[in-house]
């Protein structure tokens, strides 16, 4: 349920009205609930989990308002084992999503300034991005499954690819740099906490503080999110068992590798470059 809260509570568009906010929150809740049911249906069959993550990655790329939440829901629910033997499949994800949606639907406070909305990606580049992401996620997930590592620490490689890959090489590079720097610093802080072998109450307090910082600062700059995310996601991703300190170092390394793979794919696998417009002609002259 805590994992559902983390994914549904990701920052909403600043300028979104109540109707759009409700639609996005319910769509995220539907993704989590569907992931819980799907994981229950496929049971221990890891290859079906790979297929689900790959299809969800392509679907999320075609629906920007959902984005990476769809594949992350399938991957993280499958990895944590949530929904493996529930009384009602998908119920805990539905409960977490609806509870979070009820808290986030009202706008608590007004932003000081509304940043300009990002330009919508045209349909052809969006389809290329969806195909590129599906190929990359499918290939990485398949290789990890062949090595029997998708269910271990290596699943953070898939997460890094999902969160770093953007429609253009420029956007992928920008996000990749922020993720590498932020996750390195945040990973060091997480490792220091994990060395102390914190008790469940300390884990809950750390998750609460890290979550508050991550969601508060995320609208200002994605870099702030990457600082707090390791504390939040490492402690929740393997919530049913203690996580060794070196898991933070492993995550940093996988984040760097995932960023490199994402940038390589964005540049060489059906690349999409932003459209450039010619500068206005000077007075009295015609453009060539």
Helical packing angle, 222-237 and 169-195, nearest 10°:
50
pTM of the model: 0.86
Tokens of 30: 């539907």
Domain residues for 268?
Answer: 151-272
Q: Is residue 66 part of a domain?
A: yes
Q: Is residue 113 part of a domain?
A: no
pLDDT score at 257:
94
Task: Report whether 28 contacts 84 (CB < 8 A).
Answer: no
| Residue 2 and residue 101 in one domain | yes
pLDDT score at 112:
54
| Residue 84 and residue 165 in one domain | no
Q: Is residue 216 part of a domain?
A: yes
| Residue 173 and residue 93 in one domain | no
pLDDT score at 285:
45
| Residue 91 and residue 195 in one domain | no
Q: Is residue 132 part of a domain?
A: no
Q: Is residue 227 part of a domain?
A: yes
State the Cα–Cα distance between residues 51 and 57, nearest whole angstrom.
10
| Residue 249 and residue 178 in one domain | yes
pLDDT score at 83:
47
Q: Is residue 120 part of a domain?
A: no
13 CB burial (10 A radius; 0-12, 13-18, 19+): middle
State the Cα–Cα distance between residues 27 and 36, nearest whole angstrom.
14
Which of 48, 73, 105 is where one domain is finished?
105
Q: Is residue 138 part of a domain?
A: no
Alpha helices, DSSP H, located in the chain: 2-8, 18-42, 46-62, 69-80, 91-104, 123-146, 155-164, 169-195, 200-217, 222-237, 246-268
State the Cα–Cα distance between residues 254 and 257, nearest whole angstrom.
5
Q: Under DSSP, is residue 287 helix (H, G, I), strand (E, B) or coil?
A: coil
State the Cα–Cα distance between residues 133 and 140, nearest whole angstrom.
11
pLDDT score at 286:
44
Distances (CA, A) of 68 to 51, 88, 159, 162, 287: 15, 26, 9, 6, 42
pLDDT score at 197:
84
| Residue 172 and residue 259 in one domain | yes
| Residue 160 and residue 76 in one domain | no
CB contact set of 127 (below 8 Å; sequence gap of 6+): 62
Query: Beta-carbon neighbour count of residue 5 at 10 Å?
Result: 19
| Residue 97 and residue 156 in one domain | no
| Residue 88 and residue 183 in one domain | no
Buried-exposed string 93-129: b where 16+ CB fall within 10 A, e elsewhere: bbbbbbebbeebeeeeeeeeeeeeeeeebeeebbbbb
| Residue 27 and residue 87 in one domain | yes
State the Cα–Cα distance between residues 203 and 180, nearest whole angstrom.
24
Count up the domains in the chain and report the number: 2
pLDDT score at 275:
58
Q: Is residue 171 part of a domain?
A: yes
Q: Can you list the residues of the chain whose pLDDT is less than 50? A: 83, 282-288
For residue range 102-135, what is the model confidence (pLDDT) as tens digits?
Answer: 998 887 666 555 555 566 778 888 999 999 999 9
């Amino acid at each position: 349920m805590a994992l559902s809260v983390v994914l549904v509570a990701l920052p909403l568009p600043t300028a979104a009205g109540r109707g759009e906010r409700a639609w996005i929150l319910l769509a995220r809740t539907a993704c989590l609930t569907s992931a819980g049911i799907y994981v229950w249906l496929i049971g221990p069959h890891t290859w079906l989990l790979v297929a689900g993550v790959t299809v969800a990655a392509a679907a999320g790329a075609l629906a920007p308002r959902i984005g990476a939440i769809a594949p992350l829901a399938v991957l993280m629910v499958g990895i944590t084992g949530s929904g493996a033997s529930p009384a009602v499949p998908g119920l805990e994800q539905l409960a977490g999503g609806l509870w979070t949606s009820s808290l986030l639907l009202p706008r608590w406070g007004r932003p000081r300034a509304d940043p300009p909305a990002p330009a919508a990606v045209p349909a052809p580049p969006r389809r290329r991005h969806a195909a590129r992401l599906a190929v990359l996620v499918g290939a990485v997930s398949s290789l990890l499954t062949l090595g029997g590592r998708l269910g271990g620490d290596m699943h953070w490689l898939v997460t890094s690819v999902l969160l770093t890959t953007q429609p253009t090489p420029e956007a992928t590079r920008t996000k990749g740099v922020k993720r590498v720097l932020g996750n390195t610093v945040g990973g060091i802080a997480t490792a220091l906490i994990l060395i102390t072998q914190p008790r469940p109450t300390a884990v809950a307090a750390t998750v609460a503080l890290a979550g508050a910082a991550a969601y508060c600062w995320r609208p200002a700059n994605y870099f702030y999110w990457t600082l707090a995310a390791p504390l939040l996601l490492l402690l929740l991703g393997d919530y049913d068992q203690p996580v060794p300190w070196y898991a933070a170092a492993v995550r940093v390394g996988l984040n760097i590798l995932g960023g490199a793979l994402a940038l390589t794919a964005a540049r060489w696998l059906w690349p999409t470059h932003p459209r450039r417009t010619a500068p206005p002609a000077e007075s009295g002259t015609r453009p060539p």
